[in-house]
């Protein structure tokens, strides 16, 4: 009986280390899941960065495309407007020579209105006049036709208008530029400096003039008889 009981007891009791093995297996599973989760997070971060970079590249591409399209439109307009500039010049010259006759003036007012309308239309397309009044000569925007007395490199007069569209110069303004020589008003020339030689010449000229009666020697009797 004792032997049987002992054998039965030994056959029904579980091994003493089963609980420890289960805990170890659970820890391994948790570690594996945490590793997979960390890997998934890293993958998500990488994909997020790639998608953000792709979105930024797409936005930059759209921006560049729009800028290139705008530049192309400006270039196309520049070619057309450049061909119109001689017509603007001719209209300006015609208006400058309108006679003072009232009837002709009324007829010319319509031409002036058309010119202003054309200039406003071209201005909306980006056309700008190049400033010359009171400006210093700049070869990027001005073409010197001649020089004359005036402040050095200062624009004295505009002979033909210049135009540009944004930073693109269609035609440089033709101007007259000062050469640095001082301008002297008429009748205000300073007197020339008197030199020693000039003084000698002046004395000789004065000595050759007839003397006044008061300065002449008194006439003697012989003079009176003669």
- Residue 129's pLDDT is 93
- Tell me how far apart the alpha carbons of residues 142 and 160 are, in angstroms, rounded to a whole number: 10
pLDDT band, residue 17 (cuts 50/70/90): low
| 110 and 132 together in one domain | no
| 148 and 91 together in one domain | no
**In a 3-state reduction of DSSP, which class is residue 216?**
coil
Indicate whether 224 pLDDT > 80.
no
- Residue 221's pLDDT is 43
- Residue 101's pLDDT is 72
pLDDT tens-digit readout, 81-136: 899 999 889 888 888 887 777 666 777 888 888 889 988 998 888 899 999 988 99
- Residue 225's pLDDT is 39
- Tell me how far apart the alpha carbons of residues 97 and 105 are, in angstroms, rounded to a whole number: 11
Phi/psi-derived region of residue 129, left when phi > 0, alpha when psi is between -120 and 50, beta in every other case: beta
| 35 and 119 together in one domain | yes
- Residue 13's pLDDT is 54
Record the tokens describing residue 172, joined without a space: 């440089």
- Is the pTM higher than 0.75? The answer reads no
- CATH number of the domain that residue 146 is part of: 2.30.22.10
- Residue 18's pLDDT is 59
Indicate whether 219 pLDDT > 50.
no
| 64 and 145 together in one domain | no
Tell me the β-bridge partners of 176: 146, 157
| 160 and 133 together in one domain | yes
- Residue 26's pLDDT is 78
pLDDT tens-digit readout, 39-70: 888 888 988 999 899 999 999 989 888 888 88
**DSSP category for residue 166:** T
- Nearest of 164, 157, 118 to residue 135 by alpha carbon: 157
Asked if 145 contacts 176 with a C-beta cutoff of 8 angstroms, the reply is: yes
Record the tokens describing residue 141, joined without a space: 């925007």
> Which comes out higher in pLDDT, residue 196 or 127?
127
Identify whether 211 is part of a domain.
no
pLDDT band, residue 15 (cuts 50/70/90): low
pLDDT tens-digit readout, 148-183: 998 899 999 999 999 998 888 999 999 999 988 886
| 91 and 146 together in one domain | no
Indicate whether 32 pLDDT > 80.
yes
Give the DSSP H/E element, type plus range, for residue 82: helix 18-96
- Tell me how far apart the alpha carbons of residues 219 and 213 are, in angstroms, rounded to a whole number: 11
Give the DSSP H/E element, type plus range, for residue 90: helix 18-96
Name the residue range of residue 94's domain.
31-125
pLDDT band, residue 212 (cuts 50/70/90): very low
| 104 and 136 together in one domain | no
Count of domains for the chain: 2
CA 174 to chain centre: 19
Sign of the Cα torsion 14, 17, 23, 28 reads: negative
- Nearest of 124, 140, 36 to residue 81 by alpha carbon: 124
Identify whether 44 is part of a domain.
yes
């Amino acid at each position: 009986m004792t032997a049987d009981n002992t054998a039965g007891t030994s056959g029904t009791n579980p091994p003493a280390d089963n609980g420890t093995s289960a805990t170890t297996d659970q820890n391994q599973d948790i570690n594996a899941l945490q590793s997979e989760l960390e890997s998934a997070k890293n993958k998500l971060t990488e994909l997020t960065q790639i998608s953000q970079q792709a979105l930024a590249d797409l936005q930059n591409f759209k921006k560049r495309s729009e800028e290139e399209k705008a530049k192309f439109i400006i270039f196309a307009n520049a070619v057309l407007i450049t061909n119109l500039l001689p017509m603007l010049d001719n209209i300006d010259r015609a208006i400058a020579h309108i006679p003072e006759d009232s009837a002709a003036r009324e007829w010319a007012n319509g031409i002036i209105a058309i010119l202003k309308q054309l200039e406003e239309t071209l201005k909306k397309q980006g056309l700008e006049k190049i400033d010359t009044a009171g400006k210093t000569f700049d070869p990027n925007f001005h073409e010197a036709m001649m020089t004359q007395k005036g402040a050095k490199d200062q624009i004295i007069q505009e002979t033909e208008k210049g135009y540009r569209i944004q930073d693109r110069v269609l035609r440089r303004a033709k101007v007259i530029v000062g050469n640095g020589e001082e301008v002297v008003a008429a009748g205000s020339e300073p007197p020339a400096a008197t030199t020693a030689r000039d003084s000698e010449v002046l004395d000789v000229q004065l000595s050759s003039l007839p003397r006044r009666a008061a300065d002449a020697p008194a006439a003697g009797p012989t003079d009176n008889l003669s």
